[in-house]
């Protein structure tokens, strides 16, 4: 693979000589060619930018130096031109793998407010073009992004890695984050390696690793997991601030039955204001489910010490009795963070239907634990 870099800061690419990419170059697997874009300017100041048409802040990179560079480098159908820009498509392992199949990558590194759009249009007429972003934040220029893309791509080239297995096992290869890893010594500064990893029981080790990969992914990157879905396919998704109004309506509707069953109006869910709901949404991990655009179910959880405190399981009155509450309860347990060692919830002391559902789900009544007036606590250990 041949890689070219068009930049006004060629020094940024010194690291290509180092470490693994450097080794790949020395081994003949890749060729790096770094080009100072100013080489293709002709004025005394070697100008590469100018003010934007239409006005506005900042400077735009001029088209001519890029055009001349493409000509000089013979950019044609065998090349993929990569524009690194915060407005590009998100870079991920799948894209790295795709780029690793190309024979030539040409990185055009933007600085200032971006590159004149006609450069991208022109590049499309002579090569494949990808506009790529590292993520939702802004760097000063595309150079660091081009280096990151390079490292992710080059290490996937056949013959690059000594150990092909570590390519398969690493984070993202199977859609999960990697499990925690340990090496010697078995005990260090009061922290022990989990016993199962030293047991020699390969099946238990594999199960532990999978379990922890899933937990990490749930906690840090729930977007990587297939969403929990109801029988009809509606996904359970994280609540957004705009859901507050519908949550308020739903909880007022849902807790009337509780009030009647427990013969008390003294239930916070019935009295909260829109601002109260907005406030607790910032403190609780809240999930909602919609059916035909209507918010019909919700649940929330938050950590209290090592207990995952579950609450506000609500199902629209017309949809109760169909198992939706049970699915929401399963979901909120599944998304509990790694530190959670138990689940905790409370319900009205006279809410018999709730008691039945929670008992079926493995919760036990805990009359020994303090509960709000007229309510009873239930707990369940996490496996």
| CB 365 within 8 Å of CB 376 | yes
Select 111 or 380, whichever has its Cβ closest to ligand 6GU: 111
Return d(Cα 315, Cα 326) in angstroms, integer.
10
Binding site for ligand 6GU (CB under 6 A): 84-86, 132-135, 137-139, 141-142, 145
Which of 379, 328, 374 has the alpha carbon at shortest distance from 351?
A: 374
Closest distance to ligand 6GU from the beta carbon of 112 (Å): 10
Closest distance to ligand 6GU from the beta carbon of 153 (Å): 14
Return d(Cα 78, Cα 379) in angstroms, integer.
62
Closest distance to ligand 6GU from the beta carbon of 143 (Å): 9
Select 139 or 152, whichever has its Cβ closest to ligand 6GU: 139
Which residue's CB comes closest to ligand 6GU?
Answer: 145
| DSSP-assigned beta bridge partners for residue 33 | 4
Closest distance to ligand 6GU from the beta carbon of 237 (Å): 25
Closest distance to ligand 6GU from the beta carbon of 120 (Å): 14
Select 130 or 300, whichever has its Cβ closest to ligand 6GU: 130
Q: Which long-range contacts (CB under 8 A, 24 or more apart) does 159-168 make?
A: 159/27, 159/29, 160/20, 160/24, 160/29
Select 133 or 251, whichever has its Cβ closest to ligand 6GU: 133
Joined tokens for residue 286? 């809240």
Return d(Cα 246, Cα 252) in angstroms, integer.
10
Return d(Cα 131, Cα 87) in angstroms, integer.
8
Closest distance to ligand 6GU from the beta carbon of 91 (Å): 8
Select 37 or 132, whichever has its Cβ closest to ligand 6GU: 132
Select 135 or 186, whichever has its Cβ closest to ligand 6GU: 135
The H or E element containing residue 334 is helix 324-334
């Amino acid at each position: 693979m041949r890689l070219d870099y068009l930049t006004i800061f060629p020094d940024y690419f010194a690291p290509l000589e180092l470490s693994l990419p450097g080794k790949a170059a020395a081994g003949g697997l890749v060729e790096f060619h770094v080009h100072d874009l100013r080489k293709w300017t002709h004025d005394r100041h070697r100008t590469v930018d100018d003010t934007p048409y239409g006005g506005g802040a900042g400077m735009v990179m001029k088209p001519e130096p890029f055009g001349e560079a493409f000509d000089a480098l013979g950019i044609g159908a065998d090349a993929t031109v990569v524009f690194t820009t915060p407005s590009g498509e998100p870079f991920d392992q799948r894209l790295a793998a795709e780029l690793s199949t190309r024979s030539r990558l040409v990185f055009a590194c933007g600085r200032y407010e971006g590159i004149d759009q006609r450069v991208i249009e022109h590049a499309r007429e002579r090569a494949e073009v990808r506009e790529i972003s590292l993520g939702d934040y802004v760097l000063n220029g595309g150079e660091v992004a081009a280096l990151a893309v390079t490292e992710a791509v080059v290490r996937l080239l056949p013959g690059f890695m000594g150990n092909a297995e570590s390519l398969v096992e690493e984070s993202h290869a199977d859609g999960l984050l990697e499990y925690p890893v340990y090496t010697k010594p078995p005990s260090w500064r009061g922290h022990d390696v989990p016993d199962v990893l030293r047991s020699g029981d390969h099946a238990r080790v594999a199960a532990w690793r999978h379990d922890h990969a899933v937990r990490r992914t749930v906690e840090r990157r729930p977007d990587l997991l297939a969403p929990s879905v109801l029988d009809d396919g509606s996904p359970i998704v994280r609540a957004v601030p705009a859901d507050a109004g519908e949550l308020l309506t739903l909880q007022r509707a849902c807790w009337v039955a509780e009030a009647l069953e427990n013969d008390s109006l003294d239930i916070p869910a019935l009295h909260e204001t829109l601002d109260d709901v907005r406030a607790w949404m910032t403190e609780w991990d809240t999930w909602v489910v919609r059916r035909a655009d209507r918010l019909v179910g919700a649940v929330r959880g938050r950590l209290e010490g090592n207990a995952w405190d579950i609450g506000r399981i609500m199902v629209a009155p017309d949809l109760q009795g169909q198992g939706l509450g049970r699915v929401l309860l399963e979901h909120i347990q599944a998304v509990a963070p790694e530190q959670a060692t138990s689940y905790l919830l409370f319900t009205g002391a006279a809410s018999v239907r709730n008691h039945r559902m929670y008992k079926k789900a493995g919760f036990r009544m805990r009359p020994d634990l303090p509960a709000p007036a007229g309510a009873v606590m239930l707990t369940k250990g996490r496996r």
